[in-house]
């Protein structure tokens, strides 16, 4: 900011000096015309407008070394210049009181004939003066020479370390009769800021209020909801239930919160299911293990009839088979989500495999070409468990029907078995619930199907049916 304003102040100083130089050059020309008896200025004469604009910059490479000192005169000025010199000095002294600028009026040989200083000395060796006497208006910034130490406050503004010089030729009837050489130090930036103190105070107040308002908006709609969301996740991580936020702030944070809520609910459901599942597994494995252990102890006691020994061995085989079935079901349940592969297929894609595996069932397919959003492998796992249940409950006819409506695609599976009692309808999806425990049933088949369908984002539910069981899977 300081560099920007310092550059502006230097260009303002340059523009002011160019204006003064233009006016003083006109005065110089008028005095010269009067002294030499040349024709007075004709206002009707057509003039070519050649505006000069400020061009200085505070770039380090644009700042020249200090101006060389004036040198003694080598060629005496003409008598006409000596006559108008005192008048020009008087004008310079009067102007310097208000502008604080330094004025030099030079003849064509670079001699100072009037001004506020260095009168009767030569500046022809100064580059900008020589160029002005050649007909060019020149503005330069030179390093400033200070007699005393620089105030510490000046260090923030580079403009206080330079002095601006403007050299402008004086032209009469197309001849260069001399030059006006003006210099001045740019205005100090703190003086400028002090002059604009009220506007700066308003701008500062506006910035403070705007920053406070933006900070409040960020806190109200972003920071606080995110902090609350972090607090909710920490509480949920400690085992407590998820509590929705009272204020979401933005739609994106609301969507993020709902995603966290859905994730935590899913994790909590899995944790609850794991606890329930562990309790069921412990209970289900305890009975066959106890039976195996008891039979082994009886066999170890000593001699017994072959018929009784074979009976105990048969019991051990039956109980170990049940434990193997339970372990296999547990493994299938643990892999349910991995087996829930998304994709697309239809009943016709798995028809041959299904008929070959369940040859004793009469299977009827309806709308077999309707595409279902499920991988063939996953669909076969689902159908295998449901058809095995139907076959185990003495069903011999199965009807598979796919339908589609505005809400999605459904698969309905109907058999002609004994059906599901009203008392068991709400229990059949529970793990280890079975009505065939005496025949080796584990009660995990429908539970595995339910886990796979949920992982696919669907739902399976038993439906009332006059004869047999009916399940509807909504994808």
Q: For residue 156, is pLDDT > 50?
A: no
Pairing of the two strands 175-184 and 162-172: antiparallel
Q: What is the pLDDT of residue 431?
A: 67
In this prediction, residue 106 carries a pLDDT of 97
Band (pLDDT 50/70/90 cuts) for residue 284 is: low
Nearest-angstrom CA–CA distance, 417 and 394: 6
Question: What pLDDT, on the 0 to 100 scale, is given for residue 290?
Answer: 82
Task: Say if residue 121's pLDDT is above 90.
Answer: yes
Q: Which two tokens stand for residue 164?
A: 């601006």
| Pairwise CA distance, residues 19 & 322, whole Å | 109
Percent of the chain with pLDDT over 70: 83
Are 345 and 374 in contact by the 8 Å Cβ rule? The answer is yes
In 406-443, beta strands by DSSP E:
408-415
Give residue 158's pLDDT band: very low, low, confident or very high (50, 70, 90). very low
Order the strands of the 459-462 sheet from edge to edge: 362-366, 397-405, 408-415, 470-474, 459-462
pLDDT of res. 153:
47
SS3 breakdown of the chain: % helix, strand, coil, rounded to 5? 50, 15, 30
- For residue 250, the model assigns a pLDDT of 80
**pLDDT tens digits for range 393-417:** 888 899 999 999 888 899 999 999 8
| pLDDT tens digits along 216-260 | 988 888 888 888 888 877 777 676 777 777 777 788 888 888 887
Distance between CA atoms of residues 413 and 386, nearest Å: 8
The secondary element (H helix, E strand) that includes residue 25 is helix 2-36
CB of 198 closer than 8 Å to CB of 188? no
Are 200 and 190 in contact by the 8 Å Cβ rule? The answer is no
Residue 244 neighbours by CB under 8 Å, 6+ apart: 257, 261
State the first-to-last Cα distance of the chain, in angstroms, to the nearest integer: 64
Residue with tokens 């008896």: 37
Give the model's pLDDT for residue 287. 72
pLDDT at residue 211 is higher than 80: yes
């Amino acid at each position: 900011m300081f560099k920007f304003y310092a550059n502006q102040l230097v260009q303002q100083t340059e523009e002011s000096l160019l204006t003064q130089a233009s006016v003083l050059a006109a005065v110089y020309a008028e005095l010269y015309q009067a002294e030499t008896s040349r024709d007075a200025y004709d206002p009707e004469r057509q003039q070519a407008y050649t505006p000069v604009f400020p061009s200085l910059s505070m770039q380090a490479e644009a700042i020249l070394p200090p101006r060389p000192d004036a040198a003694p005169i080598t060629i005496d000025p003409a008598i006409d210049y000596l006559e108008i010199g005192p008048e020009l000095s008087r004008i310079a002294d009067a102007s310097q009181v208000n502008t604080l600028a330094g004025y030099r009026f030079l003849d064509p040989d670079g001699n100072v004939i009037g001004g506020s200083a260095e009168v009767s000395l030569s500046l022809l060796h100064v580059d900008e003066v020589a160029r002005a006497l050649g007909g060019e208006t020149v503005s330069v910034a030179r390093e400033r020479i200070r007699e005393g130490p620089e105030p510490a406050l000046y260090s923030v503004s580079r403009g206080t370390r330079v002095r601006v010089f403007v050299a402008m030729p004086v032209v009469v009837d197309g001849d260069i009769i001399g030059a006006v050489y003006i210099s001045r130090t740019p205005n100090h930036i703190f003086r400028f800021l002090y002059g604009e103190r009220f506007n700066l105070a308003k701008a500062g107040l506006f910035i403070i209020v705007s920053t406070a308002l933006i900070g409040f908006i960020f806190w109200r709609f972003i920071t606080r909801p995110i902090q609350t969301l972090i607090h909710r996740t920490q509480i949920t991580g400690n085992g407590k239930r998820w509590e929705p936020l009272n204020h979401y702030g933005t739609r994106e944070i609301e969507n993020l919160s709902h995603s966290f809520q859905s994730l935590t609910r899913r994790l909590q459901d899995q944790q609850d299911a794991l606890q329930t599942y562990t309790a069921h597994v412990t209970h289900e494995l305890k009975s066959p293990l106890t039976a195996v252990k008891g039979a082994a102890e009886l066999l170890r006691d000593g001699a017994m009839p072959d018929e009784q020994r074979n009976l105990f061995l048969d019991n051990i085989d039956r109980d170990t088979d049940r434990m193997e079935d339970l372990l296999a079901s547990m493994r299938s349940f643990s892999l349910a989500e991995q087996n829930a592969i998304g994709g697309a297929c239809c009943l016709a894609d798995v028809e041959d495999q299904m008929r070959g595996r369940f040859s004793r069932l009469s299977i009827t397919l309806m709308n077999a070409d309707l595409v279902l959003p499920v991988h063939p492998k996953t669909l076969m796992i689902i159908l295998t468990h449901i058809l095995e249940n139907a076959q185990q409950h003495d069903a011999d006819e199965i009807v598979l029907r796919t339908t589609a409506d505005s809400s999605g695609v459904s698969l309905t599976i109907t058999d002609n078995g004994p059906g599901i009692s009203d008392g068991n309808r709400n229990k059949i999806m529970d793990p280890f619930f079975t009505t065939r425990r005496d025949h080796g049933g584990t009660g995990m088949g429908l539970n595995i199907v339910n886990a796979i369908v949920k992982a696919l984002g669907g739902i399976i539910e038993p439906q009332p049916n006059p004869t047999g069981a009916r399940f509807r899977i909504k994808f």
